[in-house]
Amino acid sequence: MQVKCSLCGKVEEITKIHKDYAKLAKNQSAPYFCEYCSFRVKTQAKEAQFPPKPI
């Protein structure tokens, strides 16, 4: 099944082994995030939790 990342637009081919395959097969309008974008969002969320550094 070909899916398109909701953030960067990268088109990927996923198989039945992929963790999101069942969700995407059942609901075609479900959002999909590639590994790069999910890692980027997770990293940005962690960094946002730290207090800002004083100047």
Tens digits of residue pLDDT in 28-45: 888 999 999 999 999 999
Residue 51 has pLDDT above 90, yes or no: no
Residue 20 lies in a domain: yes
Residue 54 lies in a domain: no
- Cβ-contact 13, 2 below 8 angstroms: yes
Residue 16 lies in a domain: yes
Residue 11 lies in a domain: yes
Q: What is the pLDDT of residue 10?
A: 93
Please tell me the total count of domains within the chain: 1
pLDDT mean across residues, the chain: 90
Q: What is the pLDDT of residue 20?
A: 85
Q: Phi and psi of 25, rounded to 5°?
A: -70, -35
0.95 surpassed by pTM = no
* pLDDT (mean) for 45-49: 93
Q: What is the pLDDT of residue 49?
A: 92
Domain that holds residue 36: 2-49
Residue 55 lies in a domain: no
Segment (H or E) for 13? strand 11-13
Segment (H or E) for 3? strand 2-4
Residue 35 lies in a domain: yes
